[in-house]
Structure 1
Amino acid sequence: MDIQLSILQFFQSMRSPLLNVMFLVFTISTETPVVVLFTVMMYWCINKKYGQRILFALVGNITLNTGIKEFVKAPRPIGTKDLESLRVSTATGYSFPSGHTQTGTSFWVSLMSIFKVNWLYILGTIMILGVGISRLYLVVHWPIDVLFGWIFGIIFTLLLGKVFDYVDKEKNYSILLFILILFGVIAFFLNSIDYMKMFGLFTGFVLGYIVEDKFVDFSTEDKTKGRINFGSRTTKRSNRMAINIYRFIVGIITLGLVYIGLKYLKEAIMPYIVLDNMNLVNMIMDYIRYALVVFYGVAGAPALFKILRLN
């Protein structure tokens, strides 16, 4: 602990207005709004399979990270003598391992494993290191939290990537359902509201992926490729870009409405439910709410795109 404390004090001693801004940017880059915006853009508009692969790695890592946190229950350095933590509003829950670090690592390792280009390896490595170091600079995690955030992020992302590739190729959904059941068993023993929310994210992805794959099957590919087209290429590209823009706007607005609507629905229903174990009711409601939001993003929004002829 003394070595870890010394490391945090070292980063704290480096603080300056410029470094504060730089490391805040690193840490914000892995928070939910940023990650969601990029991932849904990839999934809905750029490349469906790449988006699904990244999303599967992200929800898997987030669920595993929360499960480990709730099992270990390690305290954060926030409030430790001689330490001053910054931006503590986003440093919720337990400390080990770092969620920001694992999420950022998962995101960039996913991109690197998909595209396999040198400049992305360099950028991804900088971002992965930057996010981890930012958590130390802000003094919201111990060094061991960041170290294992990197390790778990790399290992789990590569494993989840292999699982997704196999499932997507063989259409063997039983593997996803097995993992879902395994996470459900963990939820039963942890009895944690934070874990139930993340388990809801994973549930929403698994069910949404299966429904989309079997019944919706929307496409991000240009279906005019290979056809004789007497129009200009510029017009064709402009039309495709317009469709992607409309798709993203429709998707993100409706996704936000689903999220807000379910949140207010829960708040409206809860006062009318009177049971001995209200904590359990709250956990179940949050689980359903998070599962439905992700399910809509993965299967509902693509179905809407097809209905609106934005496919």
Structure 2
Amino acid sequence: MQRESLVDRLALAATALLLVSPALAYLTGLWVPYWRLVTMLGYEEAYVALAVIVYVALSPQLGYYMLLSLLTSAWVNAYLKNTLALPRPPPEQWKVQETGYGFPSGHAQVSTSFWSTASLKLRRASLAVLSATLVALISISRLELGVHYPRDVAGGVLIGLAVALASYYLAGWLLRADKRAAFTATLLYSLLVATLYLIQPDATILKAAGVLAGASLYPLVKDKVKPSPSVARRTALTALALAVALALTQLAKTASPPAQLATYLAISLVIIATPLAHSKQR
């Protein structure tokens, strides 16, 4: 009970700081740099780091839920953007450099899916408020930086919510199903996503397919991946997994499409396998 109360207090304190942060940025003359910093929370590297921290340091099961939602939202967004091909605002309005089409906003959609899934799984009001605040700030950053129209952000949030709900129930079903059936279903899902690359050759689709393929192992090992009671051990393993995952992310940027798929599979395997070290050392 004390731990839950501490989590609530920390979440509410973080929410309060986030809510006043735009005003502080305005008063200190750091308005544009502030929104550039906020928008970085919606980039790939941020989600790789968050996925590692949640899965390895906090809760493998929560990490699995959030990872499945993140990956589903990522490929859905890439596919929709390239299919609809709706433009961004004129480049002269941009305060950061971007590529690709505008609708739906990937930042708005993926952040909504990622954080909404956490709220659905944890069912704590304080964390739901924190999640909503993060999504709102990330979404607003895309408008303030001039790289999206309001329709892009609104559409991204709505689609992100739909993906979060679908992913939440999918993850729950997979974890209740027979282990081998869940493994097979997730692996087939990753292969289906990979085939979409043939229709819309966007690297995000291949990356999502690679991580999904690795994540298919989680149902097989879920009973063995329990965080160690040692905070020092969890911290060390998290730092190690984080360093490897981020290094592989950078390596993949200049790789060929097949190599990107393989690299993101490796990233997923690092994330999924690291908590097994807890069990071996207990």
TM-score, normalised on structure 1? 0.72
- Give SS of 1:189's match: coil
Matched residue SS, 1:29:
helix
Q: Distance in 2 between matches of 1:40 and 1:30?
A: 15
CA contact (8 A) 2:87 2:102 kept: yes
Contact 2:74 2:110 in 1 (8 A): yes
Q: Which amino acid aligns with 1:201?
A: K
Q: Which runs of 5+ in 2 are unaligned?
A: 1-25
SS in 1 for 2:240: helix
Structure whose alpha-carbon radius of gyration is higher:
1
Q: Which residue of 2 aligns with 1:179?
A: 189
Contact 2:48–2:246 under 8 Å retained in 1:
no
> In 2 relative to 1, CA 202–218 (structure 1 residues): closer, same or farther, beyond 3 Å?
farther
Q: Check whether the contact 2:105–2:148 (CA below 8 A) recurs between aligned residues.
A: yes
Rounded to whole Å, the distance in 2 between the matches of 1:65 and 1:113 is 21
8 Å contact from structure 1 (residues 201, 294) kept in 2: no
Change in Cα spacing, 1:260 to 1:184, as seen in structure 2 (3 Å) is closer
Residue correspondences, number:
253
What residue number does 1:159 align with?
Answer: 166
Is the CA contact 2:49–2:246 (under 8 Å) kept in the aligned structure 1? no
Structure 2 counterparts to residues 200-279 of structure 1, below 5 A: 200-214=206-220, 218-221=224-227, 240-259=230-249, 266=255
Aligned partner of 2:12 in structure 1 is none
Q: What's the offset of the Cα at 1:48?
A: 0.6
The question of whether the paired residues in 1 share the 8 Å contact of 2:186 and 2:213 is answered with no
1:270-300 per-position Cα deviation (integer Å, ceiling 9, x unaligned): xxxxxxxxxxxx333333333333333333x
Q: How does 1:36-115 map to 2 (within 5 A)?
A: 36-79=48-91, 84-88=93-97, 91-115=98-122
Where does structure 1 lack aligned partners over 5 or more consecutive residues?
Answer: 1-14, 223-236, 267-281
User: Which residue in the other structure is 1:30 paired with?
Assistant: 42
Please state how far the C-alpha of 1:257 moved relative to its aligned partner.
Answer: 4.4
SS of structure 2 residue aligned to 1:145: helix
CA spacing shift, 1:30–1:126, aligned 2, 3 Å: same
**Aligned with 2:199: secondary structure?**
helix
Deviation at 1:189, TM superposition (A): 1.8
Give the Å deviation of 1:154.
Answer: 0.5
Give distance in 1, aligned partners of 2:126 and 2:196. Answer: 39
| Structure 1 residues 95 and 43: CA distance shift in structure 2, 3 A | same
Q: 1:257 to 1:129 in 2, by over 3 A?
A: closer
Seq. identity, %: 21
Give the Cα–Cα distance (whole angstroms) in 2 for the partners of residues 71 and 252 of structure 1: 33
Local SS of the residue matching 1:188: coil
Secondary structure of the residue aligned to 2:162 is: helix
| Alpha-carbon distance, 1:20 to partner | 2.3
Measure, in 2, the Cα distance between the counterparts of 1:208 and 1:287.
Answer: 11
Deviation (angstroms), 1:39: 1.9
1:292 pairs, out of 256, 266, 275, with 266
Q: Are 1:45 and 1:220, in contact at CA under 8 Å, matched by a contact in 2?
A: no
Q: Deviations along 1:175-194, whole A, 9 cap, x unmatched?
A: 3244334323422222x1xx
CA contact (8 A) 2:39 2:141 kept: yes
Q: How far 1:68 sits from its partner (Å)?
A: 0.8
Per-residue CA distance 1:68-109 (angstroms, 9 max, x = gap): 111112221132xxx521112xx2211111011112111220
The one-letter code sitting in structure 2 at the alignment partner of 1:133 is I
CA 1:169 to 1:67, structure 2 compared with 1: closer, same or farther past 3 Å? same
Q: How far apart are the structure 2 equivalents of 1:216 and 1:49?
A: 8
**Aligned letter for 2:82?**
E
